[in-house]
Structure 1
Amino acid sequence: MTVVAEILKSKPDTTVHTVRPEDSVLDALRLMAEKGIGALLVTQDADRIVGIFTERDYARKIALLGRTSAATQVRDVMTPDVLYVRLHQTSEQCMQLMSTNRLRHLPVVENDKLVGMISIGDLVKDIISEQKFIIEQLEQYINGGR
């Protein structure tokens, strides 16, 4: 069973991109497009997490409500209650948390410090890899270890 620490180690880039609450949504969208990511943590005062801004927040709270990205601050549309996981938690625990709460991104916090972010894609990749390994082991067993 894989834990979050192993998933983070397997990622090519563990940089967590952030914005401030007073940044414009347009600036946040530009950063997301530049980095090819779907979510930014919103931080304040020495990296204290105060929210998360996602593509879903944009779609539902800007576009559908007729707001403009340039005139709206991230604090006005971010999701303030951020769920997170710790390094020792398993991929299954993370999938359960994401499924139950309909999330696509989870910050990873250890000792009150932000250490990474995992996405649903990271978890799916890990679970597929784990299942592939198990299948290969079973095939070897069935074929007599050849």
Structure 2
Amino acid sequence: MKIVDVMRSRGTTDVVTVQPTQTVTELLSVLAEHGIGAVVVSADGASVDGIVSERDIVRKLNERGAEVLQSPVSEIMTTAVHTCTGEDALEQVAVLMTQQRVRHLPVLRSESLFSIVSIGDVVKFRIEQLQAERDHLVDYINK
């Protein structure tokens, strides 16, 4: 199975982005509006300049206090972003996310931002796969 299969089962490749110049307060509004925990930072909607998560915000709030809310996203984002492609194997991506302790990976197509996949997407897809395999085996045994 590949990451493209996960995106297909999810039904969307939509990805929310913010610009590096937007404030952290604006970022918080975007996260709340979309009910998501991380967002790709992109000046043009196609490049991956960084990624920022709720965890990044909390850590910076602890370090710098409420003044961080008026700071640009570029000051708190992670710039060393791990990415994948739709053709990457599901297991390979799961290992990468676990080893690097990241919950979200931007998905690239031809070096441009295409989608984003979360560890929740990966786990949900894998559980659905295992349930389908189990159901198939039960049907086979009962015949």
Give ranges in structure 2 of 5+ residues lacking alignment. none
Aligned equivalent of 1:129: 128
Q: C-alpha separation between the residues in 1 aligned to 2:99 and 2:23?
A: 30
Q: C-alpha separation between the residues in 2 aligned to 1:39 and 1:142?
A: 44
Secondary structure in 2 matching 1:9: helix
Distance apart, 1:34 and its partner CA: 0.3
Q: C-alpha separation between the residues in 1 aligned to 2:14 and 2:87?
A: 19
Aligned equivalent of 2:42: 43
8 A Cα contact 1:95 1:120, kept in partner: yes
Distance apart, 1:67 and its partner CA: 4.0
Distance apart, 1:142 and its partner CA: 2.2
Kindly report the root-mean-square deviation, in angstroms, between the aligned alpha carbons of the 2 structures: 1.5
Q: Deviations over 1:23-59 (max 9, x none)?
A: 1000001000000011111112462211001011011
Q: TM-score, normalised by structure 2?
A: 0.92
The one-letter code of the counterpart of 2:42 is: T
Aligned equivalent of 2:25: 26
The one-letter code of the counterpart of 2:85 is: R
Distance apart, 1:15 and its partner CA: 1.5
Q: C-alpha separation between the residues in 2 aligned to 1:35 and 1:133?
A: 30
Q: C-alpha separation between the residues in 2 aligned to 1:46 and 1:30?
A: 18
More deviation, 15-24/3-12: 3-12
Secondary structure in 1 matching 2:115: strand
Decide whether aligned partners of structure 1 residues 46 and 129 sit closer, same or farther in structure 2, where only a CA change above 3 A counts. Answer: closer
Q: C-alpha separation between the residues in 1 aligned to 2:18 and 2:104?
A: 16
8 A Cα contact 2:40 2:51, kept in partner: yes
Decide whether aligned partners of structure 1 residues 11 and 31 sit closer, same or farther in structure 2, where only a CA change above 3 A counts. Answer: same
Q: C-alpha separation between the residues in 1 aligned to 2:32 and 2:44?
A: 25
Give ranges in structure 1 of 5+ residues lacking alignment. none
**Moved >4 Å (runs of 4+):** none
Aligned equivalent of 1:120: 119
Larger proportion of helix: 2
Aligned-residue sequence identity (percent) comes to 35
Equivalent residue pairs, number: 143
Distance apart, 1:141 and its partner CA: 2.5
Q: TM-score, normalised by structure 1?
A: 0.91
Distance apart, 1:11 and its partner CA: 1.8
8 A Cα contact 1:62 1:77, kept in partner: no
8 A Cα contact 2:9 2:125, kept in partner: no
